Amino acid sequence: METVVSGIRSTGKLHLGNYYGAIQNFVKMQHEYNCYFFIADLHSLTTHPTSADLHGNVKQVLVEYLAAGIDPEKATIYVQSDVPEIAELYLYLNMNAYLGELERSTSFKDKVRAHPDNVNAGLLTYPVLMAADIMIHKATKVPVGKDQEQHLEMARTFANRFNRLYNKDYFPEPYAFNFSANLVKIPGLDGKGKMGKSEGEANAVYLSDPPEVIRKKVMRAVTDSGPTAENQEKPVEIQNLFELMKVVSPAGTYAHFDLLYNTCQIRYGDLKKQLAEDMIVAAAPIRERIKEIDQDSSYLRQVARHGAIKARESASKTIREVREIIGFRSF
Ligand code: TYM
C-alpha cells in the first residue's frame, strides 16, 4: 500500500483553505492508503511563538484534525516534535541542500519580502525540513494545496540527490496529490491572493468561526460596482467570490449567480448572503465537533501518544537504514 504524509503548520486556527486544500483529502485518503498526518510545530518556530502560544496552537490543530474527520484508528496522527528522527534526517539532508536553490524558493522570497527583519536559517531550510517530514516515512503521495507544489518539487530533488550520492535507490519520489486531480487554491476575502492565516483575520473564514462571524466577514468582502456589459470578464475580487461559491455551494447556486452576472442583473449583496449561508452549512458540523473534542484532554493525550509511537516505529526504521547507508556504523 502506498504511503501518504502531510502536515499543517501549528500557527493557529484552520481555515477553509486548509480544509479544501488539504484536510478533505486527508479524510478520504485515510481509507485507501497508509496515512501519516502531523502537526508541523517545528516549522512554526520560524516565527518565534511563545511557549504558551506554541502549545495552544498545536492543540488547536490536533482538535481540528479530529473534528474534521481524521480517524486516529485509520491514520497515524502525530506532533512533528514528538518524532526526533525527523530532525535527524533534516540534518543529513541539509548537507546536500544548496544555498542557491533554497534562495530561489518562492515561499522563501515571499517571507523575506514580508518579514525582512527575520530572515533566519530555519526559514531558508524550511523546504528541507518538509522533505524530511515526507521522506522519513518514504511517502509517495502528499495531499496539499497548490501553494506547496514547489516544495514537493524540492523534496523530489533532495530524495533523488540522496539516492545518487549513495548510489542506492532508497527514497521514492513524492508527489503532491489531490483527489480532484488539480491542486486547489482557495482565494481569500480581501480581493487579492489566497486565503491564509498570515493575510489577516478578515481574509480567512475559519472552521471554528460562528455563523455571525462568517456572515460579517463575507458581507465585508471586496466587490466592484458591478458588470456594465453582458458576459464581461470578472475582475479578480469577483472571480474569487465565485471560486469560493464553486467550493461550498451546490452547482445550481453557482450557475444561478453566474447567469445573473453575465446578464448584468447581479446584486452582490444577494451573492454574499448565499455564499455566507453555504459556508456556514459547510463548517457547522466541524465547528460543533471542535467544541466537543476541545474539552476532552484525556482523549487528546491518548491520540497524541498513540500517534507518536506509531510514527516513531516507521521513522526509526528509516533512520536506522539511512545511518547505515551514510556509513555511521557501530564498532
Ligand atoms: P500550511 O500550514 O500553510 O497549510 C496547510 C495546508 O493547507 C493548504 N492551504 C491551502 N490550500 C488551498 N488554498 C489555500 N488558500 C490554502 N492555504 C493553505 C496548504 O497547501 C497545505 O497543504 N509547509 C506546509 C506544512 C508542511 C507539510 C509538510 C505539508 C510541513 N511539512 C510535509 C506536507 C508535507 C505548510 O506550511 O502548510
Mean pLDDT, consecutive 10-residue stretches, the chain (331 aa), reads 97 96 98 98 97 97 98 98 98 98 96 95 98 98 97 98 98 97 95 85 94 97 94 96 97 98 97 98 97 98 98 98 96 89
Question: Do residues 27 and 88 both lie within one domain?
Answer: yes
> Is 192 within a domain?
no
So what's the pLDDT on residue 200? 79
Cβ(127) to ligand 1 under 6 A? no
Question: Do residues 26 and 113 both lie within one domain?
Answer: yes
Task: Say which CATH number the domain at 263 has.
Answer: 1.10.240.10
Question: Do residues 281 and 301 both lie within one domain?
Answer: no
Please state whether the predicted TM-score (pTM) of the whole model is above 0.95: yes
Supply the angle between the helices 251-262 and 236-248 in degrees, to the nearest 10. 160
> Is 158 within a domain?
yes
Cβ(47) to ligand 1 under 6 A? no
Bridge partners, residue 5, by sequence: 36
> Is 255 within a domain?
yes
Question: Do residues 32 and 121 both lie within one domain?
Answer: yes
Bridge partners, residue 39, by sequence: 8, 79
Residue position matching grid coordinates 530561489:
104
Please tell me the distance from the alpha carbon of residue 126 to that of residue 111, in angstroms, as a whole number.
Answer: 11
> Is 36 within a domain?
yes
Question: Do residues 133 and 153 both lie within one domain?
Answer: yes
Question: Do residues 25 and 153 both lie within one domain?
Answer: yes
Question: Do residues 286 and 302 both lie within one domain?
Answer: no
Q: What residue ranges in the chain does DSSP mark as E strands?
A: 3-9, 34-40, 76-79, 141-143, 175-177
Question: Do residues 90 and 20 both lie within one domain?
Answer: yes
128 neighbors 98 (Cβ within 8 angstroms): no
Cβ(144) to ligand 1 under 6 A? yes
The active-site residue out of 111, 141, 217, 272 is: 111
Question: Do residues 113 and 212 both lie within one domain?
Answer: no
> Is 317 within a domain?
yes
Question: Do residues 215 and 103 both lie within one domain?
Answer: no
Q: Which of 177, 173, 176 is nearest to 157 (CA)?
A: 173
Question: Is 141 noted as a catalytic residue in this protein?
Answer: no
> Is 9 within a domain?
yes
Question: Do residues 155 and 104 both lie within one domain?
Answer: yes
> Is 87 within a domain?
yes
Phi, psi of 206, rounded to the nearest 5 degrees: -90, 150
Supply the angle between the helices 106-114 and 149-165 in degrees, to the nearest 10. 120
Q: How many CB atoms lie within 10 A of CB 231?
A: 9
Phi, psi of 177, rounded to the nearest 5 degrees: -140, 140
Which residue range is the domain that position 208 belongs to?
197-291
Count of structural domains, the chain: 2
Question: Do residues 18 and 96 both lie within one domain?
Answer: yes
> Is 223 within a domain?
yes
Cβ(205) to ligand 1 under 6 A? no
Task: Say which CATH number the domain at 23 has.
Answer: 3.40.50.620
**Which numbered atom of ligand 1 lies nearest the CA of 18?**
7
